[in-house]
Structure 1
Amino acid sequence: MPRNPILSASRIRAAALHIIDRDGLDGLSMRKLASELGVQAASLYGHVSTKDDLLHEVAAEILEKVDVSGFEGGDWCSGLRSAARSYRAALAQHPNIVPFLAYGPAHREASLRRLDVVHGGLVAGGWSRREATMIAAGLMYLVFGAALSSFSSGFSEDQALYRDRYPNLDKAHLLPGVAQELDHDSFELTLDAFVTGLVARAPG
């Protein structure tokens, strides 16, 4: 057995993501990561240059689960739906990294490759390049808005807080108990409205 644990890029990424899931994005440091892996911090730099580079690598691994294959079949509606659902599912598994991903795709190869497929699929479907950019942006707004927090999270389960002062919210205290169902159904409603609205405006 080697005295020091054997490091690999995949093991470093997995440990970093574990820390982010457990302690939040600000909880990740190279020193803490090294401790988690049982090595000295200097050992990490043979595999990753900076914490920011590591975050991009972790993000790329998460984004591998985003399915943009629907665009390659020529059906941009199906492509939008499958991309949105798989993107939301990938982010839901690791919500603490969402703020980092929300900065945009400009420095991430994995994000740019998927965006290229989305953009190309929309243009092939008859949309102008400007319109394709707007639709892709709209898709990101929808996905990240759904991933950042649960709509129900801000509501109290105390009925008295709403019953008298807000008569139209007299059932608001029930929302935390159905948070998962509400978030899913609300996302699907919004996604359907988004795609249906685009179909009504589609060129040709």
Structure 2
Amino acid sequence: MGRPRTRLLDRQRIAAAALELVDEQGEFSGPQIARRLGVQTGSLYHHVDGREGIIELLRERVAGAIDPATLDLRPWDSALAAWARSYRAAFAAHPRAVPLLMTNPVRAPRVLDQYERIVALLIDAGFPLPDVMPVVIALENVVLGSALDLAAPEVMWDVADATRTPRLASALAAVGENRTDRAFELALEAFLEHARRGPVASG
């Protein structure tokens, strides 16, 4: 029997199957991926280094939707804002992957390359070195929290008795559409405004 014209298994197919499972159920396992791809479980690990290797494939696949060109913008705060919006959009497409990725160290080289660029951007802008990672982490907290919020139910506060919490009921009635987008922009601008007050306030 001749060899198949297309490979049954590669890293891209493993990542795609794992991400489908995470989107569906918030988790994955090697046997589940293997069943979805029609291969033996052991075959997966000829291509990836265990569960952590699959998680890094997921990270690369999700983060691959972030536009790296945003980091070429200037001044530095425009670059950070554009990168944050692109980052949020990428992860909002797969919100159930966020907890999985947040509990595993970042090792994927292409993802680390983006962080290298962000660190360089902040250093070049004049941020003291001890402040750089807190700024990056704080921005990620805003982005990933908002990505999770996009997957939340439309009604997060179920006010059955408005007479018990009248101000909350009124605020919920007044919020209107796009509450998650508005909340993200508010948090992002507050973050940037705080960062601008640092030693490079002039940008």
TM-score bracket, shorter-length normalisation: 0.7 to 0.9
Query: Are the structure 2 counterparts of residues 172 and 64 from structure 1 closer, same or farther at C-alpha, using a change threshold of 3 Å?
Result: same
Residue 157 (structure 2) aligns with: 155
Structure 1 stretch displaced more, 32-41 or 64-73: 64-73
Distance in 2 (alpha carbons) for counterparts of 1:42 and 1:177: 51
Task: Encode CA deviations 1:25-82: one digit per residue, 9 max, x unaligned.
Answer: 2xx1111111101111122222123122111111112112223434444421011101
Over the aligned positions, Cα root-mean-square deviation in angstroms equals 2.6
Task: Encode CA deviations 1:83-124: one digit per residue, 9 max, x unaligned.
Answer: 111111111111111012223654332332111111110110
Residue 167 (structure 2) aligns with: 168
Query: Are the structure 2 counterparts of residues 176 and 33 from structure 1 closer, same or farther at C-alpha, using a change threshold of 3 Å?
Result: farther
Distance in 1 (alpha carbons) for counterparts of 2:105 and 2:69: 19
Structure 2: runs of 5 or more not aligned? none
Counterpart code for 2:41: A
Distance in 1 (alpha carbons) for counterparts of 2:118 and 2:76: 8
Aligned residues, how many? 196
Q: RCO higher in 1 or 2 (8 Å CA, sep ≥ 6)?
A: 2
Alignment of 1:1-204 (within 5 A): 2=4, 6-25=8-27, 28-103=28-103, 105-149=105-149, 150=152, 153-156=155-158, 159-161=159-161, 163-171=162-170, 174=173, 178=177, 181-203=178-200
Confirm or deny: 8 A CA contact 1:31 1:41 kept in the other structure: yes
Confirm or deny: 8 A CA contact 1:71 1:122 kept in the other structure: no
Confirm or deny: 8 A CA contact 1:74 1:124 kept in the other structure: no
Structure 1: runs of 5 or more not aligned? none
Confirm or deny: 8 A CA contact 1:91 1:147 kept in the other structure: yes
3-state SS, counterpart of residue 154 of structure 1:
coil
3-state SS, counterpart of residue 201 of structure 1:
coil
Counterpart code for 2:76: W
Deviation at 1:160, TM superposition (A): 3.6
Counterpart code for 2:128: S
Distance in 1 (alpha carbons) for counterparts of 2:8 and 2:179: 45
Distance in 2 (alpha carbons) for counterparts of 1:52 and 1:44: 12
Deviation at 1:151, TM superposition (A): 8.2
Confirm or deny: 8 A CA contact 2:30 2:51 kept in the other structure: yes
